[in-house]
Structure 1
Amino acid sequence: MSIARQAATLPLPPGRTGLPWIGETLSFLLDPDFATKRRQEHGAIFRTHIIGRPTVVMSGAAANKFILSTHFDKFSWRDGWPDNFKELLGASLFLQEGVEHQRNRRLLMPAFHGKALTNYVSTMNEITDRYLAKWSQTGNLTWFPELKNLTFEIASVLLIGSEPGAETIELSRLFTELTNGLFTIPLNWSYTTYGRAVAARDVLLAHIEKVVLERQQAPTQDALGLLVQSQDEEGNRLSVAELKVQALLLLFAGHETTTSLVSSLCLALARHPEILATTRAEQVQIGLDAPITIDSLKQMTYLDRVLREVERMYPPVGGGFRGVTEEFEFNGYRVPKGWQVLYRIPEAHYDAEIYPEPDTFDPDRFAPERYEYKPSDYNFATYGGGSRICIGMAFAQMELKIIAAKLLRHYSWELLPNQNLTLDPIPTLHPRDGLKVKFEKLDMSA
C-alpha cells in the first residue's frame, strides 16, 4: 500500500465541529481555556471548526517542531490566518511566502540587527526616562495602557521617525482600535469593533504614506528610512504600496507583544519580591548611574534569566495559524489538505517533562548549569521558530531589557487592591483590569 493511500485510511483527529457555520468560534474567542480543555479531553491533537474553517489544534514541542521546521513545506502562512488579519494588516511580510517573503525579509533585516540596534539604544533610553518620570509624578495609575503608549512611541520614533507628542499618542490609540478588530466578527459597519478597526487602519495608512513619500525625498536612519533605501540583488526597491503595508506591520509587531511582555514582567516581579530584590541587586552592582549601552546590557545576566522566564510563562500570543497545503499525518491521525492548523505555544512552555514545576516562576531554570531551554527541540516558541522566527526579536528583547533595567534602578511599583489580575489572551496577553499600581521613584540613598 502506498504511503498516500495508507495515510488516507487513518482517522481524523478526535473532536467536534460545533454549531453549523460558526462551529466553536464563540467558545474559542470567549473562553481563554478553550484549547486547554480540549487538550485535556482529546490529547495533543484535536479537531474543531473555528473562524469559518475546519481546524486542527496541535500542541507541544513535537507539534511546534513539525509545523515550524521539519514539515514547514506542508503549510501556508497566507492561507492560515483569518481574513481579519489579511484585511487589517495587508499583504505584508507577515502574510507573504516563498521567494517574495525571502526577498522582503532580507530587505527588512538591516533595520533590526547590528549597527541599527546600536543606534536605537539612546532613543530607547530617552523615551523610557521621560515616561518613567511622568509615571512617578502621577503616583497611582492603570499601567497597561501607559506601557502601550511607551512601547508604541519607541516603535513609532525608531521605525518610522515620528515626532513624540500628541500625534504619537493618537497613532497609538488608532493601533489599539486596529488590534481590537483582529479577533472579532468581521462586520464592517461604523459602529462595530471591526468597522472601527478598518477606519483606524485607513487613517494609519494615510499617515504612513505621507511619511514614506517624505523618506523617499529625504532618507533618514530610522527603520523606514533604511527600508526606503534598501534594494534587492537586481536593484529593485519596494513600491510605495509595499512600503506602507510593511511599515504598518513594523509598528504592529514593534509594540503590541512588547507591551504584553513588559506588563507581565512587572506583574511577576511585584508578586515575587525576592526575585525583584535579586534582579535589582544586579543593577546596583553594575552601577545605578552607569550608562545603559549595548555592552552594559550584556552584563545583565540574571535579568536575562528573568526575562526568559517571563517569555516562557507569559507568551503574548497563544500560537499561530497555518493553512494545510498538503495532507499529513501526525500522532496517527490524518489532517486533510485545505484545513487550517493552529499550533499552541503555552503547552510546550508548561510541559513538566521539559520544565519541572512549570507553574513556578523560576528564572534559575535558565541558569547555565540547568538551562532547560533547547532551541532545537522547539520547547520554547514565544517568538516562533525556524526560518520565519520573529524578525524583530532582537529589537524587542533589547527594548525589554532597557525598560526593565531603568525600572529596577530607580523606581518601585506596588499592586493596588481590588483589581482583577486575570490575564486575557486576546488580542495579546494582558491584565484584565489594566494593571493598577502605585508607582514611585526610589530613594537609593536611604
Structure 2
Amino acid sequence: MTSLPLPPGQLGLPLIGETPSFLLDPRFAAKRQRRYGNFFKTHILGSPTVVFIGPEGCEFLLSSHMQHFAWKGGWPQNFQELLGESLFLQDGETHRRNRRLMMPAFHGKALEGYFSTMMNLAEQYQQDWAQQDELTVFPAMKQFTFEVASVLLVGSPPGAPIDQLSQWFTDLTNGLFAPPLRWRWLPYGRALRARDRLLTYIEEMIQTRQANPTQDVLGLLLQTEDEAGNRLSQEEIKVQTLLMLFAGHETTTSLLTSLMMMLGQHPAVLQQAREEQDALAATGTLTLDQLKQMPYLDQVLKETERLYPPVGGGFRQVIKPFEFKGYRVPAGWLALYRINETNRAAYAAPDRFDPDRFSPGRAEHRPSDYSLVSFGGGPRVCLGLAFAKMEMKIFAALLLRRYTWRLAANQDLSMKPIPTLRPASGLKLSLARR
C-alpha cells in the first residue's frame, strides 16, 4: 500500500489549508468533485482530509470498512466539548452497549406511544401560525420541533420554559462551528454557558423521573437494562439526553422548513400530496395506521431529504490506513463523506425536485442503500430516524389536510448550510385554513 499515491487534490495554504473555502463556499466539495472525481484530498479544520462522494464511497466508510474509522476523533473539538461523551462520539463496544440500551425508546410500542403528543402539538402550532399575518417558518418550526423533543425525550411538563430552553439550544448550536474563544460574550462562550444550563435542567428532570417513573424517552432510559443487568449511569444519561434534544429537533426543523418551501414552489406536487391526504381524511381522523398509507407523501419527504439534507457531511478519523480506488490514505487523517453531493450522485436530473423518482416504477434509489445518506447508513444509521420520520409525516399530513400557504414575494431563498440548512430569509409565508 505504501507504494500507492495519495488521492488527487490539494492541501492549500500552510496551517489553515482550505478551511476558509470549506466554511464559506457552499460549492466547495462540488467544485473539487468536478476536478478530481468522487475521492480526493484536502486540508481542513487543521488536518489532512480525504473526501468520499457517492454510494460506493459511503458504503466503504459507513459499513464495509468501518473498522478503519473512528467517530470520536473525527469531529472538531467544539462538537466534542459541547455535546460531551454521547453516542454521537462513541466507538466500539461502548457505542454498541449504549445503542442497545437506548434502542427500545425509539422503536415499537414506545414509538407508538408518542403519536398523540406529536399530533396534538402539531395541531396547536399550526392553528397558532394561521392567526399570524406573516410567518417566518424556520424559527417557528424550531420552537415546534423543540417542544416535541422536550416533551417526548425529556418529559418537560406543560408550561415548561420552552422559549428559554430553545434559546439555549440555539446558543449551543451556534457554537459548533464558531472559533473556540471562551469569552462569555462570544458565540463559543455563550455555547458553553448554554450547555451547562441545559445539563442542569436535564439533571433536574432525571431526579423528577426517578421519583415518578414515566414513559417518555428519559423515563424509559432510566428503567432500561441489558441482559446482564447493566444500566446507563446518570452522567451517561445526561449527555445522551443532551444529544437527543440536539439531534431531535435541529434536523427535523430543517427538513420541514424545506418541505414547506418545496411544496409552495411546486403546485402540482402540492396538489397530488393534498389529494392523497383528502382521500385518507375522508375515512377518518389521522391515525397511526393511516401513516402507513401515504406513499406519495413518503416520496415527497424522500425527495426533500435528497435535495436539502440538513447537514452537508459527516466526519470520521482514520485509525487504520486503507486503500480505496488505487490510492492510499494514512492513519491520522480525517475522512469526510459528503451527504449533499452523494444524494445527487445516483439520480437522473439530480437538481430537479421530482418526487416520482422514488415511485415503484422508477425507484432511482434502489441500486444502492447508500444513494440517500442524510441520516447516515449502515450499522450506525441515525438511532432516531423512525422518531423523526413519524413526526414529519404527522406534521405534513395535518398541514396538507387543513391549510394552504403562500410564499412571500421578494425574499432570499438561497440556502445557508451552517449550522443546519435553511433559507436565508427563514422562509416567510402566510398560512390560512382551507
For 2:317, the equivalent position in structure 1 comes to 323
For 2:75, the equivalent position in structure 1 comes to 81
Report the residue type matching 2:376 in the other structure: G
Shift of 1:289: 8.1
Q: Is the 8 A contact 1:139 1:440 kept in 2?
A: no
| Structure 2 residue 184 is matched with structure 1 residue 215 | no
* Residues 94-121 of structure 1 deviation map (CA, whole Å, 9 limit, x = unaligned): 1111111111101111111000111111
| Structure 2 residue 83 is matched with structure 1 residue 65 | no
Shift of 1:36: 1.1
Q: Whole-Å Cα distance in 2 between the matches of residues 277 and 65 of structure 1?
A: 36
Sequence identity (%)? 58
* Residues 135-181 of structure 1 deviation map (CA, whole Å, 9 limit, x = unaligned): 01112021110000000100110010012446012111111111111
Equivalent residue in structure 2 for 1:246, among 230, 235, 240: 240
For 1:420, the equivalent position in structure 2 comes to 412
Superposition pairs for residues 35-114 of structure 1, below 5 Å?
35-114=29-108
Structure 1: tracts of 5 or more residues without a match: 1-6
Q: Whole-Å Cα distance in 2 between the matches of residues 310 and 61 of structure 1?
A: 18
Q: TM-score with structure 1 length normalisation?
A: 0.95
Shift of 1:437: 0.6
Q: Whole-Å Cα distance in 2 between the matches of residues 270 and 241 of structure 1?
A: 44
For 1:4, the equivalent position in structure 2 comes to none
For 1:196, the equivalent position in structure 2 comes to 190
* Residues 317-344 of structure 1 deviation map (CA, whole Å, 9 limit, x = unaligned): 1111000011111122111100010001
* Residues 205-251 of structure 1 deviation map (CA, whole Å, 9 limit, x = unaligned): 01001111111222110000000011122212211111100000110
| Structure 2 residue 357 is matched with structure 1 residue 365 | yes
Q: Which moved more, 1:383-392 or 1:15-24?
A: 15-24
| Structure 2 residue 386 is matched with structure 1 residue 394 | yes
Shift of 1:288: 5.7
Q: Whole-Å Cα distance in 2 between the matches of residues 288 and 126 of structure 1?
A: 20
Q: Whole-Å Cα distance in 2 between the matches of residues 177 and 32 of structure 1?
A: 23
For 2:431, the equivalent position in structure 1 comes to 439
Q: Whole-Å Cα distance in 2 between the matches of residues 236 and 287 of structure 1?
A: 45
For 1:347, the equivalent position in structure 2 comes to 341
How many residue pairs get matched? 434
Q: TM-score with structure 2 length normalisation?
A: 0.98
SS in 1 for 2:331: coil
Shift of 1:22: 2.0
For 1:380, the equivalent position in structure 2 comes to 372
Shift of 1:18: 2.2
For 1:3, the equivalent position in structure 2 comes to none
| Structure 2 residue 397 is matched with structure 1 residue 405 | yes
Q: Whole-Å Cα distance in 2 between the matches of residues 246 and 190 of structure 1?
A: 25
Q: Which moved more, 1:369-378 or 1:129-138?
A: 369-378
Shift of 1:33: 1.1
SS in 2 for 1:438: strand
Q: Is the 8 A contact 2:55 2:368 kept in 1?
A: no
For 2:281, the equivalent position in structure 1 comes to 287
Q: Whole-Å Cα distance in 1 between the matches of residues 420 and 408 of structure 2?
A: 23
For 1:8, the equivalent position in structure 2 comes to 2
Report the residue type matching 2:63 in the other structure: S
| Structure 2 residue 22 is matched with structure 1 residue 28 | yes
Q: Which moved more, 1:151-160 or 1:208-217?
A: 208-217
| Structure 2 residue 305 is matched with structure 1 residue 302 | no
Q: Is the 8 A contact 1:94 1:249 kept in 2?
A: yes
SS in 2 for 1:382: coil
Q: Whole-Å Cα distance in 2 between the matches of residues 409 and 165 of structure 1?
A: 28
